[in-house]
Amino acid sequence: MGSLRTVDTERIKEKEHVVQDGMDISGHWNRMFEQRVIWDYPTDLMDKITSLEGGESFGWCYQCGQCVPVCPVDIVGSYGPRKLFRQVQTGMDLLQSPELWKCTTCMNCLRVCPKEVNLIQIMPAVREQAVLEGYVPPELQKMFENCAQYGNPLGESPRKRADWAKNSDVPIPIMSQLNRPVQVLWFVSDYPSYLKRGIDASRALARVFQALGVDFGILGTEEKCDGDSQRLAGEPGLFEELATHNIKMFKKYKFDKVVVTDPHALNAFRKEYPKLGVRFDVEHYTQFLAARLSQLQPMLRKEIRYKVTFHDPCYLGRHNGEYEAPRKLLRGIPGVQFTEMWRCKENGYCCGGGGGGMWLDSFMADHVSERLSERRVREAVETGAEVLAICCPYEVSRFEDAVKSTGNEGRLIVRDIIELIDESMRG
Ligand code: SF4
Ligand code: SF4
């Protein structure tokens, strides 16, 4: 017989009497060994992240791999918290790496992570540090500057923010002119104020509000970007500046609730603005309308004979737990044949626009095999749907571009849910 390796008895730790959950695990049943040296590599790059406020949970990863198959970026490239952790452990400085900007903060990894490694806190914390040290992709930097100067990421004139309302076929009251309390303060957001396809949806929502007799007003030129994506992309100072402005405007007026077009605004108003001392009732427009479906439905006269699938926005679904309101509305439109994509609800895919991704398309092109929006469009086409329904203003341009770049023009159209409701209502 060869020699058996003997246990160094000095290292054995045993407790003489232990009963755990009614089970006697005394003596050798609870045997442990004194810790050996397990850090034989430098930890400074890991410490750089875990020492940041919000970055702590990065160090909790135990490499189980649950997060990798659900990460939307991994599906079109190589990514996910497990891989990031390993890369940092083996010498990657996340602050200076392009890997830092690929996360869309979609939250799917946190949903499955048994250790609660929280990329929704880690990413903004590390990005903030990277921004301070000057490692920021130029297109993102440009967006930050636009927001700081004009109050919107597009660099559009703040004076023109309410121009869309002037040419609408229903009156769109502006709070500063109304001079009275309203039931609903409608926070319109950037893309629905400035870009054609966003404006289409805004006008549709205004018509539906009017048909329902909703007493509403908008902030118009007094509104600025909600700031949530800027916060997640590493600019908390800019977020605070934008939020402080909006809060000042909210305080100027009296209203029962705020209704938002944009799930990112919903997230900011529910979770971040209260930290700045303001709390108000806020709903996404799909939630507001779903609660009034019985009033709305008799007005939906025209059958919309489409096969429709729906893309859950990360910041309405996973971040704010709302999956049913959009589906309730879609199923309530006469003629609509609703079908799900296989990745939906809690496991919904990401359009690529969250956490700053909206402004990083050219950067991402160098790091993924196809855009996340292109992957999603292919999944929508696979269902046989003719319409990809959305309810986040980031998505319409992303998906319409992706329909073109994947050669699906004529096969799939992208419509905001409110456009489908409006189409049915107008007959
Ligand atoms: S699921 Fe969590 S613990 Fe597991 S590998 Fe991913 S980040 Fe690490
Ligand atoms: S938040 Fe989303 S994109 Fe970021 S690492 Fe997690 S799963 Fe991937």
Residue 45: predicted pLDDT: 97
| Total-model pTM | 0.91
User: Which ligand 1 atom is nearest residue 64's CA?
Assistant: 4
Domain total for the chain?
3
Determine, yes or no, domain membership for 39.
no
Is residue 333 predicted with pLDDT exceeding 70? yes
Cα(318) to ligand 2 centroid in Å equals 12
80 within ligand 2 shell (Cβ under 6 A): yes
Q: pLDDT tens-digit profile of 21-68?
A: 999 999 999 998 877 666 667 899 999 999 999 999 999 999 999 999
349 lies in the same domain as 414: yes
Is residue 393 predicted with pLDDT exceeding 90? yes
Name the domain boundary from 102, 132, 162.
Answer: 132
User: Which ligand 2 atom is nearest residue 107's CA?
Assistant: 1
60 lies in the same domain as 167: no
Residue 287: predicted pLDDT: 98
User: Which ligand 1 atom is nearest residue 66's CA?
Assistant: 1
104 within ligand 2 shell (Cβ under 6 A): yes
Q: Which amino acid is at 15?
A: K
Cα(105) to ligand 2 centroid in Å equals 5
Q: pLDDT tens-digit profile of 146-164?
A: 999 999 999 999 999 999 9
97 lies in the same domain as 159: no
237 lies in the same domain as 317: no
User: Which ligand 1 atom is nearest residue 112's CA?
Assistant: 1
Determine, yes or no, domain membership for 33.
no
- Binding pocket residue ranges, ligand 1, CB within 6 Å: 61-67, 81-82, 112-113, 115, 117
User: Which ligand 2 atom is nearest residue 314's CA?
Assistant: 2
CATH number at residue 112: 1.10.1060.10
How does residue 407 score in pLDDT terms, banded at 50, 70 and 90?
A: very high
127 lies in the same domain as 161: no
216 lies in the same domain as 326: no
CATH number at residue 262: 3.40.50
Is residue 182 predicted with pLDDT exceeding 80? yes
Is residue 256 predicted with pLDDT exceeding 80? yes
Q: What percent of the chain has pLDDT over 90?
A: 93
> Residue with the nearest Cα to atom 4 of ligand 1?
64
CATH number at residue 310: 3.40.50.10700
Residue 2: predicted pLDDT: 44
283 lies in the same domain as 314: no
Q: pLDDT tens-digit profile of 195-206?
A: 999 999 999 999
214 lies in the same domain as 316: no
pLDDT, averaged across the chain: 95
Residue 376's domain comprises 299-426
Name the domain boundary from 256, 290, 324.
Answer: 290
Q: pLDDT tens-digit profile of 94-120?
A: 999 999 999 999 999 999 999 999 999
Residue 38: predicted pLDDT: 63
CA dihedral sign, ordered 386, 391, 397, 402: negative
* Mean pLDDT for the stretch of residues 283-298: 98
Residue 62: predicted pLDDT: 95
Residue 4: predicted pLDDT: 57
Residue 33: predicted pLDDT: 84
Cα(122) to ligand 1 centroid in Å equals 13
Name the domain boundary from 232, 267, 290.
Answer: 290
How does residue 209 score in pLDDT terms, banded at 50, 70 and 90?
A: very high
Cα(119) to ligand 2 centroid in Å equals 7
How does residue 257 score in pLDDT terms, banded at 50, 70 and 90?
A: very high
Residue 1: predicted pLDDT: 43
Residue 37: predicted pLDDT: 66
Determine, yes or no, domain membership for 12.
no
112 lies in the same domain as 165: no
317 lies in the same domain as 283: no
